[in-house]
Amino acid sequence: MVKVVVGINTLISLILLYATWRVWRLRLKLTRLTNWLILAERCSHTLFSPAPQALNISRQSIHNLRQKNQALELQIQQLQQIHSILFVGQRFWRWYFPRKVK
């Protein structure tokens, strides 16, 4: 009877030892994963920390370009109007003063 109890206790001890070993290995894996995630967070923070400032600079540059573009569009419209007036004037001139064929 004592041998059976000692055998069962030994079996339980071996099972618990194996479970402890598996938990210890899982803890090591989780520690490595945690360290890797901390490193990834630090790298991404270093990489993305200047992003808000760069976005603000880009936003301001786009605003400036849009203002310049509006001024240029106004100049283009004025040139198109001048071109249209000159074209009408040229047609009128050719119609009113036709070329004399020699």
Residue type, 17: L
Strands, E assignment, the chain: none
Distance of CA 48 to the CA centre of its chain: 10
Task: Output the pLDDT for position 69.
Answer: 96
Return d(Cα 54, Cα 23) in angstroms, integer.
46
Q: What is the pLDDT of residues 2-37, one digit of tens each?
A: 999 999 999 999 999 999 999 999 999 999 999 999
Mean pLDDT of the region 94-101: 78
Task: Output the pLDDT for position 7.
Answer: 95
- Ranges of each domain in the chain: 1-50, 57-102
**pTM (2 d.p.):** 0.51
Q: What is the pLDDT of residues 37-95, one digit of tens each?
A: 999 999 999 999 999 999 999 999 999 999 999 999 999 999 999 999 999 999 988 88
Task: Output the pLDDT for position 41.
Answer: 95
